Every structure is written in C-alpha cells, then in structure tokens.
A and B are shown apart, each in its own frame.
Chain A
C-alpha cells in the first residue's frame, strides 16, 4: 500500500487540482458586484441558506461524525465538487477525523478581506466623502431647490456596495490556495484511510466470521455485474469490482469473506492522484464561473453543491443503517462483539433485545444458531440480496 504522508508532499503545479481552479480571477467579482449588486447579494444569501440546508440535512442523519462532515462541507462551498462514484472510497466518509483534520482544520481561518471587499469599501468611502462635501457646499450656496440632491442620489445608489461588504464580513470567503491544499490532502488521506478501513474490516471479518468457502465464491461472482458506472471511464475493469458490487447498497455480508480470502483490495493500490473522493469538476468553458473560488460566484455552484451534500449525507446514512459491508462491520464489531460471542456459544437469546434488532439479525443470519430461525421478522425486510441464496 502506498502511504503518502501529508507533510512531505505538497500540491505542486502539476497537481490536477491547481490547474482547474481559476485562482487569479480577482477582477471579475469586482465587476460583478459593481455591475449587479443583485447577483452578489443573491450569492451571499444563497451561501448562508446553503449552510442552513447542510445543517438541516445533517440533522436527518444519525451518525456520530455528522457535525464534522457538516462543518467541512460548509467550508467547501467555494469549489465545484462532486462525490466520486468509486465505492471503495466511501469507506472514508464516516471517519470524522478525516473531515475535521483534513478539511476543517485546514480551512479554519477565514479570509475576510479580498480585492472585491477592498474595492467596494473604497468606492463607498469615496462616494460618501463626495456626497458629504457636495451637500456641505450646496448648503452654503444659495439654491432655490434647497440643497443639492446629487450626493444623496449617488450615495444611495452606492450604498448597495456597503451592504455587500458587510455581508462579505458575515459570510467570509476562503483563500483559494487554502482550498486547493485542503482538497488535495483530503483526497490523499481519503485513499489512505479507506484502505486502512478495508484492512481493519477484513481482519475483523477474518476473526469473527468463518464462512464456508463455496458460498463466498458464488457471491463474489454474481456481484460483478452490479457495479454499473465506475468513477472514471478510462480505468480497466479489474478484480476490485466484486467488492464494489458488494458495497453497492447491498447487505451482502458474504462478500467480506471474499475480501479476506482473495483480498484484492488489500493488494490493490488506490492511487491518491487519480482516485479522488471529492472530484473537482471541470467542464471547460461550461463551468468556468464555478471554478472561480469567490463568494460572488457561489450562485453558479449551488445546484452542484446541494447534490454533493445530498450524496455525502446519503452515503453516510446508508453506512449508518448497516446496508453496507464496511459500515455494518464497523458498527457491529465495535459494539456488539460480546453479544455475538454469546450467541455463538448458544447462550439463551434473552440478551438479544439489548442490541439493535436489525444489525443483530444480519449477523445472526450467518451464525449456526440463526440458520434454524430464518423467519426472524425484520430480517426479510432489511435487504435481501437480489441473487438466489445459495444456502
């Protein structure tokens, strides 16, 4: 396995991220905010409403790391990101440390002053000075209309910019270099931690579940066709696909055994440069505004951003509910090892109500005790594997 330590390597000019972010576009936000304060104000409000919707979406997920995920996602609003479709990398989504350290800490200090802010505040100061001078001058002079109105007119017109400046203070943007670094290291760490999670899950499975060999082979063969769309089309279909199929929202715990036995995932090296959990989307001229990391252009990223938020939390939800091999193993083996051992030993099942019924059943299905009582009420509703059961 290829370990990339974040301290040694740094996002160079050749990193795939840095060429996509249009970092040096500072003048466009200024033009947009002067030319159309409505658009800039719309972006501002949209940014903060997106923040709220992230929290609302997070509150529907019952996973321990949801706060960290939400905080990290909120600071990633300035990039056009998309969740990968490579299911191997989903294992790093529930890790709250990953979100917290790689994204949250790196983006903790926010940039409150940008060129757009400075320009706007300079404009407002200049205009208000002129307006003041103008009105004072016209007060002293004899004017039939009673004072000049020019200062008032222009002053009110430019007052929108003052609004925007204050709004930018409330909804601060992030430095583009910082965003790039955070994304780069986050993707590298995602690969690393996903591999670690798989290894952990594999070892745990090896320890606690001993399955007949022939069932494993059947399962893994039938799983190959299920993974329809891979993340990048250019990669050759290799033997990791059966694991991906098993991770594909299917409660197919037998696949884990295959991972342990054949363990293609443990030998496979996910390349941190190409396998990214959060893909920075590049569509050329079509989304050039999206790749400008300024708060003013947040309006163009909204649809993609909300899709990303929904994807991330949906995946997290799926992992939480134990519909996934890795999530299932993590939850079950951490908290219910003891009761599992009790069941295996044939102790009375009176301990069962202490544990979650759903998770318990998915584990019990493979224990000798459970094969007698297949008609456990909630088992059939949890998620039958689509293929014919080979038992």
Chain B
C-alpha cells in the first residue's frame, strides 16, 4: 500500500507538470486550465472509484453499506468517463476554433472579465513584444521539460534492469 501511495504521489506530481497549460496570459488559457484541471480531476475520481470498488468488494458488512460504496464507485466511474468525454470534445472543438482563427477577433474580450479596462492596453501597446516572445519561449520550454521529465521517468522505470537470477 505504501508503494502504491508513493507511486501515486510521484506520478501525480509529474503529471501536474505535464499538464501545466503552456500559456497563462492568452485568451484561450481558461480553456486550457480547465482542460488540465479536469484531466487531473478525472484521474483522482477514477482512483477514488477504484478504491471504493475494492472496499465494497472486500468488506464484510451489511448489505446496505456495501451497496452504498458500490454505488459511489459506479457513480464516480461513470462521472469520470462523462467528464473525459466532455473534456476531449472540448479540447477538439477548441483546437478547431483556434486553427480556424474564428475567435481571433475577440482577442482580449475574455480578459475584460478579469482585468477590466486594462485588458485593452496590451493590444495597442507594442512595448512588451519581446517580453511576450520570451514568455512564449519559456512556456514551450516548460512544457517540453515536463514532457521530457515524464518520458525519462517512464523510460527509467521501464528499462532499469531487474536482477532475478534464474536457477
């Protein structure tokens, strides 16, 4: 159990890095933040569902509590699947929209909600272009590093030699 827990935390932290949305300042960023968080939520929901299913299977108590845990497990499983469906559809739709430049006209309309009048400054102010380029580079670098970390971790775990001398 301790092994599972440790693995879970390690993997979870790794994956949070992986799923960090590459851009924090753009119009689409709430969508990507939502994508990342829902993805991680799905993961935790599924893990909890698994644990509940196991509890409901192994516990020797009255039928009522058993049915309750089973209900929680099944409900969590279905919820996580529906969330995954919606999440994937959202990602596909969002990337289609972005590629077709459909929403480019509302360049910073989304920011108005959070930043108010200051959201227009960036549009007309051409000062931080270099900074934005730098930021974009850093974001891509972060995403690349996290993916690289995950791949290296997986590769090491997969390929480290197991010493099991055959007798």
A-side interface residues toward B, CB under 8 Å? 28, 31-32, 34-39, 41-42, 44-46, 48-49, 51-53, 55, 58-59, 64, 66-67, 70, 127, 130, 134, 144-146, 149-154, 156-160, 162-163, 166-167, 170-171, 283, 285-289, 299-300, 302-304, 306
Contact B98 A302, beta carbon cutoff 8 Å: no
Interface string of B60-89 (1 = CB under 8 A from A): 000000000010011001001101111110
Give bound CA distance, A159 to B22, whole Å.
Answer: 11
| CB proximity to A under 8 Å, residues B126-156 | 126, 129, 132-133, 136, 139-140, 143, 147, 150-151, 153-155
Contact B147 A160, beta carbon cutoff 8 Å: yes
Contact residue among A36, A153, A167 (Cβ-Cβ distance under 8 Å from B43): A36
Give bound CA distance, A149 to B107, whole Å.
Answer: 12
Contact B4 A149, beta carbon cutoff 8 Å: no
Give bound CA distance, A289 to B57, whole Å.
Answer: 15
* Residue B117 at the chain A interface, CB threshold 8 Å: no
**Which residues of chain B are within 8 angstroms of A49 by Cβ–Cβ distance?**
3, 7, 157
Contact B126 A286, beta carbon cutoff 8 Å: no
Contact B154 A35, beta carbon cutoff 8 Å: no
Contact residue among A58, A146, A157, A306 (Cβ-Cβ distance under 8 Å from B32): A157
**Which residues of chain B are within 8 angstroms of A302 by Cβ–Cβ distance?**
4, 50
Give bound CA distance, A58 to B21, whole Å.
Answer: 41
* Residue B162 at the chain A interface, CB threshold 8 Å: yes
**Which residues of chain B are within 8 angstroms of A163 by Cβ–Cβ distance?**
18, 147, 150-151
| Count of A-B residue pairs with CB < 8 Å | 180
B-side interface residues toward A, CB under 8 Å? 3-4, 7-8, 10-12, 14-15, 18-19, 21-23, 26, 28, 32, 35, 38-40, 42-43, 46-47, 49-51, 53-54, 56-57, 70, 73-74, 77, 80-81, 83-88, 91-92, 94-95, 98-99, 101, 126, 129, 132-133, 136, 139-140, 143, 147, 150-151, 153-155, 157-160, 162-164, 166-167
A interface secondary structure, majority: helix
**Which residues of chain B are within 8 angstroms of A283 by Cβ–Cβ distance?**
53, 57
Contact B164 A157, beta carbon cutoff 8 Å: no
Given contacts A48-B157, A55-B164, 13 further A-B contacts (CB under 8 A): A34-B87, A35-B84, A45-B10, A45-B14, A146-B129, A149-B23, A151-B99, A152-B140, A154-B95, A156-B139, A156-B140, A157-B35, A306-B4
Contact residue among A36, A59, A159, A167 (Cβ-Cβ distance under 8 Å from B84): A36
Smallest CB-CB separation from B155: which chain A residue?
A170
**Which residues of chain A are within 8 angstroms of B154 by Cβ–Cβ distance?**
44-45, 48, 167, 170-171
Min C-beta distance of B29 to chain A, whole Å: 9
Give bound CA distance, A49 to B4, whole Å.
Answer: 9
**Which residues of chain A are within 8 angstroms of B83 by Cβ–Cβ distance?**
35-36
Contact residue among B22, B57, B158 (Cβ-Cβ distance under 8 Å from A286): B57
Which of A42, A44, A163 counts the most chain B CB atoms within 10 A? A42
**Which residues of chain A are within 8 angstroms of B140 by Cβ–Cβ distance?**
152, 156
Give bound CA distance, A163 to B150, whole Å.
Answer: 8
Contact B157 A134, beta carbon cutoff 8 Å: no
Contact B42 A46, beta carbon cutoff 8 Å: no
Give bound CA distance, A37 to B87, whole Å.
Answer: 10
**Which residues of chain A are within 8 angstroms of B163 by Cβ–Cβ distance?**
59
Contact A39 B50, beta carbon cutoff 8 Å: no
Contact B164 A66, beta carbon cutoff 8 Å: yes
Min C-beta distance of B145 to chain A, whole Å: 12
Which of A31, A153, A167, A283 counts the most chain B CB atoms within 10 A? A153
Contacts A153-B28, A156-B140 known; A34 to B4 CB distance under 8 Å?
no
